[in-house]
Amino acid sequence: MSMHPGQFATTSTGDRWARQMAGLRRATLASFVLLVVQYAIGAGVNLYVGAPSGVHGIGEAISRGPAALSVHVLLGLLLVLAAVGLVVQAVIARHWVLTATSVVGLLALVGATLSGTQFLSKGLPSASMAMAILTGVALLAYGANLYLLASARPRSGS
C-alpha cells in the first residue's frame, strides 16, 4: 500500500479494539504464569530458606540474600510493574470490568510485597501467610481477566 504525503493510514475501531484485547490477553496470561512461578518459588523460600537473619529490606534481600530469595524478590517487583501495565492497558481499552479486576490484582501484589518486607524484617509467619493469600487473590483476579477476555466482544458505539 503506497501512501502520499499528508495521507494517514486508518484502522477501524473494531481492529484497534481487537488488538487491545489481544494485548491484554497476552499480558494477563504472562502475568498469570509468572505469578504461578512466583508462588512456587515463594513456597520453596518459605520451606527451605526462611527469613534470613541480618537481611532487612528489599535491597538487602536482593544483594545479600540467598539466590532463591533474590529471585523471588526481583520477580515480585517485576510482577508489580506488570500489574501496573495491565491496569494502564485496561484503562486505555476502556474496559472497566477488566480495569477493576486488574486493579484488584495490582493491590493484591502491592499488599504481598509489603507483607514480604515484614517477613524479611521480622520473620513473622503471619506475613508469610498474607503473601500467600494475596498471591491467591491476584491469581483469581487474573484468572477472571482471562475468562472475561475469552468472551470479549466489541462494544457498540466505540
- Which regions in the chain score pLDDT beneath 50? 1, 7, 157-158
Instruction: Output the pLDDT for position 158.
Output: 45
Question: Using N-to-C axis directions, what is the helix angle for 13-44 and 67-93, rounded to 10°?
Answer: 160
- Name the phi and psi angles at 128, rounded to 5: -65, -40
Report the C-alpha dihedral over residues 125, 126, 127, 131, rounded to 10 degrees: 100
Amino acid in position 59: G
In a domain, residue 110? The reply is: yes
C-alpha cell at 44: 520453596
Please work out, in degrees rounded to the nearest 5, the angle formed at the alpha carbon of residue 89 by the alpha carbons of 86 and 90: 85
C-alpha cell at 39: 508462588
In a domain, residue 156? The reply is: no
DSSP H helical segments within 1-158, as ranges? 13-44, 58-64, 67-93, 96-122, 125-150
Instruction: Output the pLDDT for position 71.
Output: 95
Instruction: Output the pLDDT for position 9.
Output: 52
In a domain, residue 3? The reply is: no
In a domain, residue 10? The reply is: no
In a domain, residue 4? The reply is: no
- CA-CA distances (angstroms) from residue 60 to 57, 64, 78, 109? 6, 5, 17, 20
Q: What range does the domain containing 85 cover?
A: 16-150
In a domain, residue 1? The reply is: no
Instruction: Output the pLDDT for position 5.
Output: 58
In a domain, residue 155? The reply is: no
